Structure 1
Amino acid sequence: MTDSNYIKVFTGSFIVVQLIADRLNAIGISPVVKDETESGLISVFGATNPGLQQIFVNKDELNEAIEIVESVTSDLEA
């Protein structure tokens, strides 16, 4: 198994993922958004989190990304 430079920082709905991705892009972080239900390789029945997307960032950008994720999720909870 190969070691990846990317790490998952969030799993959630399309809308929240897009909000976080937009904020990450605004500070120069290019997130990778993964949606298993849209891949065509895995049916909805085989997806681990149907309807949810995942955000991955480079390990070097992890601290800044976590701050954005926490900011967005705390704003949504208020």
Structure 2
Amino acid sequence: MSDTTYTKIFSGSFIIVQLALDRLKGAGINAIVKDESESGRLAGFGASIQGYQELYVSNEELAQAKTIITSVKEELES
């Protein structure tokens, strides 16, 4: 079993994270979405920022993922 380390590559609203996730999946990159507000809701606690998510990728795929995230950000800014 190999130890993989993940790095947070992006954070934002649900919709933007889903767009980035779709682009990463299209490139064959498996990313992990962390949603603390949903975890808190399921546990019975309130969350301060609803819909805020974080996107993590394996360090092995980090360089390629950064390129994709940069293009998503540029697309949103234009």
Cα distance in 1 between the residues matched to 2:4 and 2:30? 16
Moved >4 Å (runs of 4+): none
> Structure 1 7/44 Cα, relative in aligned 2: closer, same or farther at 3 Å?
same
Q: Percent identity?
A: 45
Where do 1:5-24 residues align within 5 Å? 5-24=5-24
Larger helix share, 1 or 2 = 2
Gaps of 5+ in 2: none
How many residues get paired?
73
The Cα offsets for residues 46-70 of structure 1, whole Å up to 9 and x where unpaired, read as xxx5431000000010011111111
* Alignment-derived partner of residue 35 in structure 2: 35
TM-score by length of 1: 0.84
Gaps of 5+ in 1: none
Cα distance in 2 between the residues matched to 1:22 and 1:16? 10
Shift of 1:10: 0.2
